[in-house]
Amino acid sequence: MNVQAEPLIRLKDVKKVFYTDEVETHALSDIHLEIRNGEYVSIAGPSGCGKSTLLSILGLLDAPTDGSYWLNGQPVSELSLSESARIRNREVGFVFQSFNLIGDLTVYENVELPLTYRGMKSAERKERVTEALEKVGVAHRKNHLPSHLSGGQQQRVAVARAVAGRPNILLADEPTGNLDSSNGEAVMELLRELHRDGATICTVTHDPRFAQHADRIINLFDGRLIEESASRPDR
């Protein structure tokens, strides 16, 4: 692959302002950011500095107030609602702090859910789901409801759900936030593995230990990018 190619993600002058009850919250200001294919980027910063907001813009859950965002070279502002849904479904994988598995669906059905939204044939879905569940090591619980699983297992299912669709980028917002440290470590290890296999990953994390896993750490403070550090210059 050509290293000179267009970055997977490019943000220029991105700004996000929330207006609530006559209060303007400048959640993000002057964000310039590029993420290349195969990179592992970690976003760090104190609570309320805008990490989740940034991630939601990257994942097309929300639109910037100002500035431009190119995903795979395509300007995101020109996308219709259904095109954004399609991109969320095919090109982005999400892992959330609170797992966000759907309580009425089994583990298998949870992982299958995003695939059903793209009208994939059931045989192919089955193959992908099984593969993803095996990769995260919860294949044996596939017929259980999420409430019967431990937090660590639930988050691994969430990771399986995020990767089953083979997205271009995996976005994770504090994926270890609701886990004890050993489970947290296991999930981060899982992400690292996925990265080694070639996945592009962008995580938000408090924990400096886990931030170190990334190629690059982006520090946010009060909605601004204050520095970018290469965490592992050795690589």
Ligand X SMILES: Nc1ncnc2c1ncn2[C@@H]1O[C@H](COP(=O)(O)OP(=O)(O)O)[C@@H](O)[C@H]1O
Task: Report the interface residues with ligand X, using CB under 6 A.
Answer: 18, 20, 25, 27, 47-53
Q: DSSP secondary-structure letter at 224? A: E
Shortest Å, Cβ 48 to Mg ion: 8
Query: Quick check: 43 and 220 in contact, CB under 8 A?
Result: yes
The 10 Å Cβ neighbour count of residue 78 is: 7
53 touches Mg ion (CB under 5 A): no
Query: Quick check: 49 and 41 in contact, CB under 8 A?
Result: no
Dist CA 172 CA 41 (whole Å): 10
Give the CA distances from residue 182 to residues 12, 151, 185, 187, 188, in Å, rounded to whole numbers and listed in that order.
38, 11, 5, 9, 10
Nearer to other proteins, 103 or 198 (CB): 103
74 touches other proteins (CB under 8 A): no
Span 42-71, contacts to other proteins by CB under 8 A = 52, 55-56, 59, 61-62
Q: Per-residue x/- marks for Mg ion, 8-47, CB under 5 A? A: ----------------------------------------
Shortest Å, Cβ 139 to Mg ion: 31
Partner that binds at residue 49, options Mg ion, other proteins, ligand X, none, CB closer than 5 to 8 Å by kind: ligand X
229 touches other proteins (CB under 8 A): no
SS3 of residue 42 by DSSP? strand
Partner that binds at residue 40, options other proteins, Mg ion, ligand X, none, CB closer than 5 to 8 Å by kind: none
98 touches other proteins (CB under 8 A): yes
Dist CA 102 CA 107 (whole Å): 9
Span 148-207, contacts to other proteins by CB under 8 A = 161, 173, 177-178
SS3 of residue 216 by DSSP? strand
